[in-house]
Structure formats: structure tokens, C-alpha cells
Amino acid sequence: MSSEAKILLPESELPRAWFNIIPRLPNPPAPPLDPKTGRPLDPEALRAIFPRSLIEQEMSPEPWIEIPEEIREVYRLWRPTPLRRAWRLEQALKTPARIYYKDESVSPPGSHKPNTAVAQAYYNKKEGIRRLATETGAGQWGSALSFACKLFGLDCTVYMVKVSFYQKPFRKSLMHIWGAEVFPSPTERTESGRRILAQNPESRGSLGIAISEAVEDAATHEDTNYALGSVLNHVLLHQTVIGLETKKQLELVDERPDVLIGCVGGGSNFGGFVFPFVGDILAGDLEAEVIAVEPTSCPTLTKGLYRYDYGDTAGLTPLLLMHTLGHTFEPPGIHAGGLRYHGDAPLVCQLVADGLVKARAYPQNPCFEAAVLFAQTEGIIPAPETSHAVRAAIDEALKCRETGEEKVIVFNFSGHGHFDLAAYDDFLEGKLEDYEYPEEKILEALEQLPRISAPKDDD
Amino acid sequence: MSSEAKILLPESELPRAWFNIIPRLPNPPAPPLDPKTGRPLDPEALRAIFPRSLIEQEMSPEPWIEIPEEIREVYRLWRPTPLRRAWRLEQALKTPARIYYKDESVSPPGSHKPNTAVAQAYYNKKEGIRRLATETGAGQWGSALSFACKLFGLDCTVYMVKVSFYQKPFRKSLMHIWGAEVFPSPTERTESGRRILAQNPESRGSLGIAISEAVEDAATHEDTNYALGSVLNHVLLHQTVIGLETKKQLELVDERPDVLIGCVGGGSNFGGFVFPFVGDILAGDLEAEVIAVEPTSCPTLTKGLYRYDYGDTAGLTPLLLMHTLGHTFEPPGIHAGGLRYHGDAPLVCQLVADGLVKARAYPQNPCFEAAVLFAQTEGIIPAPETSHAVRAAIDEALKCRETGEEKVIVFNFSGHGHFDLAAYDDFLEGKLEDYEYPEEKILEALEQLPRISAPKDDD
């Protein structure tokens, strides 16, 4: 075991291929369905908004997919990222556990998001696309895609959830610095936006609405494609650089993880971090507990229904089999952080449904409490999303204090909170409310789900 | 020459001693003077506000000063910091120059400031002090000292320049997260503050006023000391870890610097970065141009008078021989960034006076323009202070494009701009004005300088 605070990999150890979990799964993933026919989607239908190479990756049976050198060159601006040993946090907790965190906050936009943004910008550029359209909530994804588009010479249009556009102006500033155009969604620029505004001119927006707008923008412009920051298989694939590096780093210090933890919004930082380890678990080479953490105000994995649902509010996207709170979900305004998406990545949901991943939900106050302890010991200030993983890691370490177990706890530090300090102010002033998403709302949402049974239910 | 984007040092290469430039200088530095007598200061007079070990470092003739292991352990949270090769910036500039930057933005508070904050907190704790008082402008120093105090279990009181307290709330949030108490200065808590408020209840504050308040707080409380974030010899000493690491990193890729660049506010990031190289220049082992960059709105080195002046507004501090705009200087409100101190570190001023360092001033718009190009190529967003160094590095690289010279340009990237995005918004919207500090104001300031000649003038 090393006594160092940072376990670093040289740039020569940057992964050369992404890890595809699909061919390793015990059961093949349920196919996305065409929203018009309810039949498995013809991949050609996605050509209006995605480049061919990403559609191929979405369905690929290959266990490894090579990372083009142009992408690795950009990754080298901040990758490999450090794996850090949380010595001071361990001391503060008086735990015999050893806590490590993979620090994805060191990228220019401050989170794991550019791992896929850079890949998506590259493939779109290569296939002759001139502009990418996307949605963003708090702005993590929008800023990452703006950054990536600038590096590859693409234009970038971001539909930013209106309430965040006005309340969280700083990731919008990042997007402007990196040359993107940013609109508060719902906008008058799209049919989907105009429909929402006609119903409710005061709409604060939601991720689902912003996705509808960005997809429509891409589908109606020949030179424009759409880019999604989470949920889809190819997005999680690109994020596996996180877990692949972490595995090498743990080997360097001769450690094997007992507990692996990540926060889940759409599931991409979680999937990217744990999939390479889940591959080992499935192969019988590793025994570890894998924990997905989400907020009680958006409890998709812990309380949602495992059903086919749309990815967006307007029902433009294919149907995906996932844990969902219903595509009309609007997150409660009292919730400070991200992790507000109504569904989750189908690959993550399948692992939860199969019992390979355990899901856990926390209210926001205990998460901020954990984040402040983390900042006061390790220095770095977690994003509110990341604070959910920090909370779970601390709870696991406290369990070890009770049992005396010297477990190796590894979590993904998905991003820093430099642009979320107003939420910390609210927490420190006691202004944050906890919120449990009510059961009756989930039953209501059931009524709004499309009338399509999961293929699993048919079998 | 390496083709890597980051030149990393292992933690084992973290410097074990700080580099003291004093014994290497051709002339001994002019002594600080007692403000009451005008005679060289008795070091014992500083015991009311500084611990003995730091006073010794302030005057030390030792060429190397060992870094205690407890400090190195904290440094390891983020040090050694990367030296980065700005490949993409070079390509954008079409320059034959090779541009490297030492990335001090990776510390938890986001700048070089904790290099000395951690050291100062450590020595004060060791000598039985319970609380540190300090001042801060935009908050870089206040947040760094809060962070350091929390790690060593000290209380921390920060007097924050009032206009920044209200206009730049986010570094205040950082200080709160790290457990400090923060007051908008001038306050009613000190005699100095009350005097200013009596004269002008609407005072927006200044660094000089906030220093007066913090010094008074420390001098009037037995268990409390004062900590300064720049200017003094021991502060610059602690910052030499920057230059020492940079030297090792350049050796790793077999490069010798032709041009060394840093921005100057009080001079600590600049001094810490260049002193180890200046030592080589003085020893005849290196030929390089050393450039200090400051704003035209606070042009201490380029237009200030090289005279003895107070470090603060109220005249509580010892007199220092430095380039000064007068201790009553109030920076123009239109200036977006930091670098607003009326004086400069005496050690840096001496190098400028001796012609070993060249000083250069830029208006803010060309600096932000350079910072945006940097962000669009290298990803990282510079602090407004740092943007002055970026501008100078780009100008040097553009000169090489004209001459065809393949110079090695190395600059210190002192901090990121995550908490200064409102200034970027203003720049992108064309709202920033450039400002030349007028000559007549400097002549006015001359009238207010204490009537003490520099010992040099006496000789």
C-alpha cells in the first residue's frame, strides 16, 4: 500500500479502448422501441440525429472499442485523472476502512462529462456535421459539450432548463467562453417549446422539455446532430475510461475494491466508473458491492417503475426500458443539485433489476453535510450530485468503524462544486429542505406511461 | 522533448526545502523601518502579530530552509502541480515558440496562495496561536487561509474588501465552507475601520484598509496572529516550491527557459516562480528574460515610485522599500480583476530596480482576450490576474512567429477563473473599460509618502 495522496498514471497508460459491457451481460439488453410502432427500433431511424459511428457503438457486440488517437490527444489535457487516497477523511471518521476517490473534477469543465462530449464531437465532425444541439440542466453537460465542440471546430447550441439559466448563470458563462449559443428552454425556437409555452407561459422548464427541443432542432436541420450527455449506451461506453484507469491505479497500490460507489442522475458517471469492475464480477474475478446513489427527491432506481418510457417530455425519443418516474416528471424546486432526470440509463437499470447493483437514496441535507466534511478534510468541494456518492462512502466507512472491517471503499468523484456555491450557502444557513418523492405521484405517472409492455414481461 | 501534455513529478520529488534568494542577491535588501522611529525595525516588534519562526524566515541568511514534513503532507493534496505544454495554443498562434505553463490552479482554493497559507497556519499552530486574522480582496488569499486554518485546527477571521464581499460572493462561500468568519471591511470591529467609516460611511473598502483592520485585530488579541498573503519575504520564500518544481520538470523534458513570465499583484506568485531561476541567472548558469506583468490600472512596477511606504492605509505596518502608488491608493472600480495592491514585494522591486526583471503593464481587455483564446485552446479558464501572464506569453510567442525564433516561454498559471465568470460575461458583452492610471495621481501620492529617504538615496 502506498502512503501517497495521489495515485497517478502516466499519459502512456491512458486507455486505448473503451470497455463495452453489453457482450458481457448475462442477458442481452432490451431493445429501444420505435415510439410510433412499438416495435424494436430500426437503427437507421436514428440517422437524422446521430452519426453512424455512434449508432454502431450504441448496439455494438464488440467487447472493446478502440479510442481514436484524436480523442486520446484531447483526453491528455486532463487524463489520466488522479485516484486519491482520502487520508484526512479516514482520520476524521476514525475508520479502519481505506477510502479512495477517482477525481473526475480535474477536467476543464470540472466533471466527467467531457469524456463523452469529446468523443461525440469528434465522430460528428468526422462525419461532416457542422453543429451539435443539446440540452442541459445545471450546465455540467452543456459546458462540457461547448468545450468539446470548440476543440473540434463545431458550432454548439444549448437548450438550458429555464430555471437554471437564470438561477445558475455561471455554467452559462463557461458555455459562452467556449463559444456556444445558449437559450433558456422552453424557447419559441421549436415546435416542442412553443407547445409547452402555449400551455404554460410561466414554465420553468425541465430536462425532458429541453431534450425535446434539442432533438427537434437536430432532426429539422440537415447539418445538425443531437448529443446526449447520459443514458445511452455509447455515452456510458465513453465514460468507461474512468473505471479502466481506476482499475490500473488500484493495482499500482495493490488494492482490491470491496465497495464501489457512484451517484446516478442519468447513470453515465456511475456506469463509466463501475462497468469495468462489474465485468470482473460477472467473470468471477472480483467480489465487491456496487452501490448507486440518488436523491430522495428524484428516486428513479429506488422507487421508479421498471418500464418502457420516453426519454423526453414530448415523446419524440425512442422508448427505453428503464426505471422511470414518468416522462412528465418535474423535479421539486427545493432540490439544490442535479440528478433530476426522470429515467436512468437502461444498462444501469438492467444491473439494478438483476441485483448486481444496489440502489440507495438520500435527502439533500445529509449529502451537503458529508460534502462539507469532505471539503474540510480533503480540500476539494464536491458538486451537489457528487455529494451523494460522498455521503454513501462516508456511511460505508462508518459501518466499518462499527464492525472493525478494513474495507477498501472506492467512489467516483464526478465533479467539483465551484459553480454550485449558492447551494452550499443555503445549506450552511439551514435553508435547504429535504424532500421525499411521494408514492402517489409514482402511481399517477404509471397512468402516463406508454401502453407498451416490456419484452421481458411478454416472455 | 516530450510529446506529452502534462509533465508530472511524483510526490517523492516534492521539494524538501524552500529556496531563499536573499543570500544570493548582489546587494542585501533594504531593511524594513519602524514607522514610529524611521530606524531599521527591531524584529521583536513583529512578535505581536507573527510567530518567531516566520520572523526568522523573513530575515534568514540561509540559502535553503527545510520544509517541515507536516507541511509537505498537506502540499501532497495537490502538489507537485503539473507543468503543461500549451500545444493547442501554440498551434492557434502558429508560433515556433514552445509554451509551457506551471498550473497552480489545481489546489483546492484554485490558486498558488495555499503554498504559503499552509506554512503560515502550521507555524502559528506550532507556536500556540489559536486564531489567524487576515484581509482579502477578491478572496483568493482569504479562501486559501481558511482552507489552511481548517486543516491545522485554527480559527480564521477574514476582513474582506467590502465591494468584493457583495460583488464576488463565491470566494466568501468557500471561506464559510472551510469554517472561517468573514466580515465586509471597513467594519465597526476595529479602531481603523471605525475611523474610515466616520470619514466615509459609504467606503467601498480597499486592501490597505482591510490590512489595517486585520493587523489591529491580531495586535490587540493575545491568542491571535496576523497572516499576509503576499509582499513579505517569508511569503515569497514559501512560494518558491513553484519555481523549484518547474525547474525539475523542465529538466525532465530537457528544456531551458528563454523567457519566464508571471503576473504581479503583491508579487508572491511571481517571486515564487522566478526566484529559483533568478538564482541561476545570478550564478551565471542561465540566460533568460524575466518579465513581471501588471495592469495599467495599478501600474506599481512600471509607474510607481521606488520609495519607502507603509504596507497598509492606516500606517500601522513597518515601512518597506518598494515601488508604490502611495498607501492611500484606491483602485479604480472599473478594474475587473485582482492585482490591486498599491505596493509590491520589496524583493521583487529590488530585482526590477536592479534591471534583472523587466516590468510590463497591460489594460484589461487585451488580457481577457488572451484568456478566452487560452480557454478555447487549452481548456482551463484563467483568473483575471493570471490573464496578464497569459497575454504576455502570447505576445512573446507572436514575436517568435515574426522572428522565427524557437524560444522556450514558461509562465506561471497562478489560478483559475471559476469565481470570476461575471468579469468574463462583462468582457464578452463589451462592457469592460480599459484604464491608464494617470501620472498626476502618482505625483499626488508622492506628497503622501512618509518623509523618509530610501537608504539607497542616502548613500
| Signed CA dihedral, B121, B122, B123, B128: sign only | positive
SS3 B358: strand
Strand segments (E) across A339-419: 358-362, 408-413
Would residue B423 count as lying in a domain? yes
Closest residue in B to A370 (Cα–Cα):
B177
Report residue B297: phi and psi, to 5°: -85, -10
Enumerate the residues of chain A whose CB falls inside 8 A of the CB of residue B176. 424-425, 428
- CA separation (Å) from B30 to A287, B276, B322, B457? 67, 21, 10, 11
A259/B186 Cα distance (integer angstroms) = 51
Residue ranges of alpha helices (H) inside A220-363 are 233-252, 268-282, 300-303, 346-353
* Cβ neighbours for A201, distance < 8 A, ≥ 6 positions apart: none
Q: How would you classify the pairing of strands A305-310 and A319-324?
A: antiparallel
Q: Is residue A389 within 8 Å of residue A414, measured between CB atoms?
A: yes
Q: How would you classify the pairing of strands A408-413 and A259-263?
A: parallel
Query: Is the CB of residue A108 less than 8 Å away from at least one CB of chain B?
Result: yes
Separation in Å, CA of B108 to nearest CA in chain A: 5
Separation in Å, CA of B421 to nearest CA in chain A: 6
Across the interface, whether the CB atoms of B418 and A110 are under 8 A apart is answered yes
B370/B387 Cα distance (integer angstroms) = 7
Would residue A421 count as lying in a domain? yes
Give the number of beta-carbon pairs within 8 Å between A and B: 101
Nearest CA-CA partner of A271 in A160, A368, A362, A346: A346
B379: left (phi over 0), alpha (psi -120 to 50) or beta: left
Would residue A312 count as lying in a domain? yes
Instruction: Give residue-wise pLDDT tens across range B262-300.
Output: 999 999 999 999 999 999 999 999 999 999 999 999 999
Closest residue in B to A150 (Cα–Cα):
B376
Would residue B191 count as lying in a domain? no
CB nearest to B177's CB, from A8, A76, A372? A372
Would residue A320 count as lying in a domain? yes
Q: Cell for A422?
A: 449558492
Per the listing, cell 495554443 goes with: B89
Query: Is the CB of residue A355 less than 8 Å away from at least one CB of chain B?
Result: no
Q: Is residue A271 within 8 Å of residue A345, measured between CB atoms?
A: yes
Q: Is residue A42 within 8 Å of residue A34, measured between CB atoms?
A: yes
Query: Is the CB of residue B351 less than 8 Å away from at least one CB of chain A?
Result: no
End-to-end C-alpha distance for chain B, whole angstroms: 49
In one-letter notation, the amino acid at residue A174 is L
SS3 B283: coil
Q: Which A-chain residues 68-87 have CB contacts (< 8 A) with chain B?
A: 76-78
Q: Which A-chain residues 183-242 have CB contacts (< 8 A) with chain B?
A: none
Enumerate the residues of chain B whose CB falls inside 8 A of the CB of residue A378. 77, 108
Would residue A57 count as lying in a domain? no
Would residue B29 count as lying in a domain? no
Would residue A106 count as lying in a domain? yes
- CA separation (Å) from A181 to A256, A395, B100, B224, B428? 45, 41, 31, 50, 13
Which CATH number goes with the domain that contains A416?
3.40.50.1100
CB nearest to B418's CB, from A107, A418, A428? A418
The parent domain of residue A419 ranges over 79-110+233-445
Per-residue pLDDT of chain B (459 residues; tens, 9 = 90+): 447 899 999 999 999 999 999 999 999 999 999 988 899 999 999 999 999 999 999 999 999 999 999 999 999 999 999 999 999 999 999 999 999 999 999 999 999 999 999 999 999 999 999 999 999 988 999 999 999 999 999 999 999 999 889 988 899 999 999 999 999 999 999 999 999 999 999 998 888 899 999 999 999 999 999 999 999 999 999 999 999 999 999 999 999 999 999 999 999 999 999 999 999 999 999 999 999 999 999 999 999 999 999 988 888 889 999 999 998 887 777 666 667 889 999 999 999 999 999 999 999 999 999 999 999 999 999 999 999 999 999 999 999 999 999 999 999 999 999 999 999 999 999 999 998 888 888 888 878 888 775 454 443
Q: Is residue B241 within 8 Å of residue B273, measured between CB atoms?
A: no
**Residue B314: exposure state from Cβ atoms within 10 A (0-12, 13-18, ≥19):** buried
Number of domains in chain A: 1
Q: Which B-chain residues 143-182 have CB contacts (< 8 A) with chain A?
A: 147, 150-151, 169-170, 173-174, 176-179
- The complex scores an ipTM of 0.95
